[in-house]
Amino acid sequence: MLKIKKTVAENIADKLSVAFGGAEITAEMIEGMLEYPPDAKMGDIALPCFKLSKVLRNAPPRIAAAIAEGFECEFVEKAEVLGGYFNIYLDGQKLGEKVVGEVAAKGEKYGAPDFGAGKTVVLDYSSPNVAKPFHIGHLGTTVIGHSLKRLHEFAGYNCVGINYLGDWGTQFGKLIVAYRMWGNKELIESGGIDKLVELYVRFHEEAEKDASLNDKARAEFHKLEQGDAENIALWQWFVEISLAEYQKTYKQLGIEFDSYKGESFYTDKMPAQVQKLRDMGLMKIDDGASIVDLEEYGMPPCLILKRDGSTLYPTRDIAAAVYRKETYDFDKAIYVTSAGQSLHFAQWFKVVELMGYDWHDKLVHVPYGTVSINGEKLATRTGNVILLRDLFALAIEKVAGIMNEKNPGLEGKDKIAEQIGVGAVVFYYLSNNRIRDINFVMEDALSFEGNTGPYVQYTYARACSVLAKSGSYDRSAPVKISAPEEAELVKVLSKFEENVIDAIDTYEPMVITRYILDVAGAYNRFYHNCSILGAESEEIKNSRLALTEAAKTVLGNAFGLICLAKTEKV
């Protein structure tokens, strides 16, 4: 569709140039104004001429009429004027031949733009705090981040996925104190991360009664920073236990990372950046702490060092960004974190700019809204969390129950139930605008009716089933568009690439989930209203099987962009 819109825009620009005496109207300007009407009766593509009125000094209806007079363009069946709109109706047959042919030829690459070729993107996402559970609050950064990685890979970028583990800080001093006071090796080995969480929660409960515990925690973390062998060994053990647990969830989501370098990795890389700030005169002392004053940029000061000289998050983030630029030479570095950290990122991004790093404008913060459970904020220390593993288990159990009723003899149903159950949760989350706060309601997330993950995965399986039942068909046979449902499906399939571009430009996976729903809806209407295997002729049958395969390919490609498994049987 992008190529068609480009051609249409070029033709319209030429017509306007002739009709209005060489007015400076470019094809790029027109292409940016083209839109899709909300009602198919108003055409497939429309140009609202109101924005052109000032430039051309003419009424919108007259501009539209001037374009329409003798208008001809490839793939356009007819064009009409409706008030100030110039409405274009595409030729379904020609479009069908073009789209089905392209999908067949490009396969897994259909819909993929190529503007990322030769460029590198570093993506920092998921990044859980070690020794804390992987709960629903981590779902956003994890699935948004990985979807953005898949999208950029699809566009040709070399992508580096980094899991910037929260593996450093005073919380480890707390955990070390708690372990020595109330834990033991056998307890942790038998209970894993759950026992670490229990110790962490208990520490905060006891610290409310005995504040001296916080002093002990700070002392133990200081020993850890100084390289105390016993504390280092405990810390590494806690990290290993946590990673083993996280890997189970990543495996369910089909996620792999290229790097697990956490905060601890940058401890020896921060002094050089702190010294650079000093040498440049950017840092000053404020109430004992070292800061970079950002008042003239409308932001509070960026804290670099505490009074005691210890580092803070901005110090580590600056050091990490410099290391990543030197290591990967990125063209873009994306950070997927809560919107609550937006000021933090704006501050240290500005500091990087003030330090003279000419790649400061390649740093991108992608914020997302918070998740609450029935309106209650999540908090590890109080235990008010829903673990992802428990949420996935509930979804898988529900899917398995449905499958046992409908298709008890299905081969590999346990794996399929896992794919659909996990997919239900992921699709539910990514169906929302990422910046919105989400009140996670279990019943809605696990619903198997309406615009849900199971619905689109069943649609994919339906297309696979139709193709399997057909045995084979003549792929060289011509495409014949003989019903409005076929034409509608083709038009939806043709819009895949521009949805991919939109999702990348806006860092918004929701664009893809909504597009998947459009494809699923169009295919199901086609499936119900157009006989495929029982078509009236072999020609129509072959054409409809080709359409089915095209829909299956596009759905599969889109699934891959949002971590959704392709289920061939249900």
| pLDDT tens profile 117-164 | 999 999 999 999 888 878 888 889 999 999 999 999 999 999 999 999
CATH of domain 390-560: 1.10.730.10
Average pLDDT, the chain: 90
For residues 479, 100, 482, 468, the Cα torsion angle rounded to the nearest 10 degrees is 90
pLDDT at 381 (0 to 100) = 47
Confidence of residue 449 (pLDDT cuts 50, 70, 90): confident
Q: Which residue has the tokens 């076929």?
A: 486
Q: Which of 282, 287, 288, 289 is nearest to 318 (CA)?
A: 282
Report which DSSP code applies to 479. P
Q: What is the pLDDT of residue 443?
A: 74
Query: Percentage of the chain with pLDDT > 70?
Result: 97
* Tokens 């590494």 belong to residue: 236
pLDDT at position 232: 95
Contact 514, 19 (CB under 8 A): no
Secondary structure (3-state) at 259: strand
8 A C-beta contact, residue 543 and residue 478: yes
Place of tokens 């430039």: 55
What residues contact residue 436 under an 8 Å CB cut-off, 6+ apart? 369
pLDDT at 382: 47
| Count of alpha carbons within 13 angstroms of residue 291, beta-carbon side | 14
pLDDT at 38: 85
Domain 2-90 in CATH 3.40.50.10320? The answer is no
Q: Where are the beta strands (DSSP E) in 4-143?
A: 45-48, 76-82, 85-90, 120-124
Query: How far apart are the C-alpha atoms of 151 and 512, rounded to whole Å?
Result: 10
Tokens of 104: 């067949």
User: Using N-to-C axis directions, what is the helix angle for 413-430 and 453-470, rounded to 10°?
Assistant: 130
Closest-CA residue to 206 (of 238, 239, 180): 180
H or E element in which residue 336 lies: strand 332-338
Pairing verdict, β 120-124 and 332-338? parallel
With vertex at residue 282, the alpha carbon angle to CA 278 and CA 286, rounded to the nearest 5 degrees, is 90
Per-residue pLDDT reduced to its tens digit, 537-548: 999 999 999 999
Instruction: Render pLDDT for 195-245 as a digit per residue (tens, 0 to 9).
Output: 998 999 899 999 999 999 999 999 999 899 889 999 999 999 999 999 999
Strands 371-373 and 438-440: parallel
Task: Provide the pLDDT for residue 564.
Answer: 94
Q: Give percent of the chain above pLDDT 90.
A: 62
| In 211-322, beta strands by DSSP E | 283-286, 289-292, 302-305
Listed ranges 115-119, 169-173, 184-188; the one with the highest mean pLDDT: 115-119
Backbone angles phi, psi at 54, to 5 degrees: -70, -45
CA angle 430, 433, 436 (to 5 degrees): 115
Residue 51, SS3 per DSSP:
helix
3-class DSSP assignment, residue 209: helix
DSSP state of 362: G
- 416 touches 410 (CB < 8 A): yes
Please report, for the chain, the start and end positions of each structural domain, with discontinuous segments joined by +.
2-90, 169-253, 390-560
Same fold yes or no, 2-90 and 390-560: no
Instruction: Looking at mean pLDDT, say which of 33-37, 390-394, 479-483 comes out highest.
Output: 479-483
Of the pLDDT bands very low, low, confident and very high (cuts 50, 70, 90), residue 23 is: low
pLDDT (tens digit per residue) in 277-327: 999 999 999 988 999 999 999 999 999 988 877 788 899 999 999 999 999
Arithmetic mean of pLDDT, 463-473: 92
DSSP state of 535: -
Distances (CA, A) of 476 to 105, 479, 539: 12, 9, 11
Q: Are 263 and 164 in contact (CB under 8 A)?
A: yes
State residue 135's pLDDT score: 82
Query: Which residue, chain included where needed, has tokens 């925690």?
Result: 217
**pLDDT at 41 > cutoff 60:** yes
Distance set, CA 10 to CA 16, 51, 206 (Å): 10, 17, 72
Query: How far apart (Å, rounded) are the C-alpha atoms in residues 554 and 498?
Result: 13
**pLDDT (0 to 100) of residue 431:** 92
Three-class SS of residue 46? strand
The H or E element spanning position 333 is: strand 332-338
Alpha-carbon distance of 19 to 23, in angstroms, equals 9
Question: How large is the average pLDDT for residues 469-492?
Answer: 91
pLDDT of residue 442: 67
pLDDT reported for residue 179: 95
Strongest mean pLDDT among 54-63, 404-413, 560-569: 560-569
Strand, coil or helix: 90: strand
Are 159 and 152 within 8 A, CB to CB? yes
| 526 phi and psi angles, rounded to 5 deg | -65, -45
Task: For residues 181 and 179, give the distance between their C-alpha atoms in angstroms, rounded to a whole number.
Answer: 6
- Per DSSP, helices labelled H in 280-367 are 313-328, 342-354
The count of C-alpha atoms lying within 13 angstroms of the C-alpha of 529, restricted to the half-sphere facing its C-beta, is: 14
Tell me the pLDDT band of 379, cut-offs 50, 70 and 90: low
Q: Encoding tokens for residue 206? A: 């006891």
Residue 258 confidence class, pLDDT cut points 50, 70, 90: very high
pLDDT of residue 119: 98
For range 486-499, the mean pLDDT: 96
